[in-house]
Amino acid sequence: AHEIAQQVKSGVEAAAVNPLEAVAEAPKQLGIITEKAREEFFAKEVPFGSIIYREAKKTTVRPELVAAVVEQESRFKPNARSGAGAVGLMQLMPRTGRWMGAKDLTNPTQNIQAGAKYVKYLNERFDGNQTKVIAAYNAGEGNVKRFGGIPPFKETRNYVKKVRTYEKEYKARV
């Protein structure tokens, strides 16, 4: 917070010296301040938030989306396991985890790294269509392609709604 106050102060001083340059620079500076506040929010308010933020940024996936998937998949429990064999925070199948580079899916960092990479992969496969990305994360890429969108599975339809709701809540809280 002190660092942000210092940045605001220096911005005001710069505006007094050279108003036109300050106006041109303001959106960039505001973006930096906003992103720092976002990073700080994840670090302080979200379990495993520093890892989620860092890995999301590395893969150009929104941290709000990664956090929403983690919340829906495991409720932030690193040792979570599903009956189908999915493991860890992002409930990755072992084969998918290995494909995305994870050796130990119960390790929060490796799990989130692999999960964020997988979300990025799905994002590229579905041309950025977030609804299809979220549905594919739950029901599989093949099912989303076969049905041309959210498959007619009650679980997947509910999953997409819940992830979207969590994502909106994180955006609002940031």
Q: How far apart are CA 88 and CA 73, in angstroms?
A: 9
Q: Digits of tens for pLDDT over the chain (174 positions)?
A: 677 667 666 656 655 566 556 556 656 666 577 889 999 999 999 999 999 999 999 999 999 999 999 999 999 999 999 999 999 999 999 999 999 999 999 999 999 999 999 999 999 999 999 999 999 999 999 999 999 999 999 999 999 999 999 999 999 998
* Mean confidence (pLDDT) of the chain: 90
Catalytic residue among 73, 124, 167, 169: 73
Contact 130, 149 (CB under 8 A): no
- Name, in order, each residue with C-beta under 8 angstroms of 165's C-beta and a sequence gap of 6 or more: 68
Contact 108, 116 (CB under 8 A): no
pTM beyond cutoff 0.85: no
Q: How far apart are CA 68 and CA 71, in angstroms?
A: 5
DSSP characters for 16-43? HH-HHHHHHHHHHHHHHHHHHHHHHHHH
What confidence tens digit (pLDDT) does each residue in 68-97 have?
999 999 999 999 999 999 999 999 999 999
| Side-chain-side CA neighbours of residue 38 (13 Å) | 18
What confidence tens digit (pLDDT) does each residue in 129-144 have?
999 999 999 999 999 9
Active site residue 45: no
- Residue 113's closest CA among 46, 164, 50, 39? 50
Q: How far apart are CA 43 and CA 118, in angstroms?
A: 22
Q: How far apart are CA 91 and CA 76, in angstroms?
A: 10
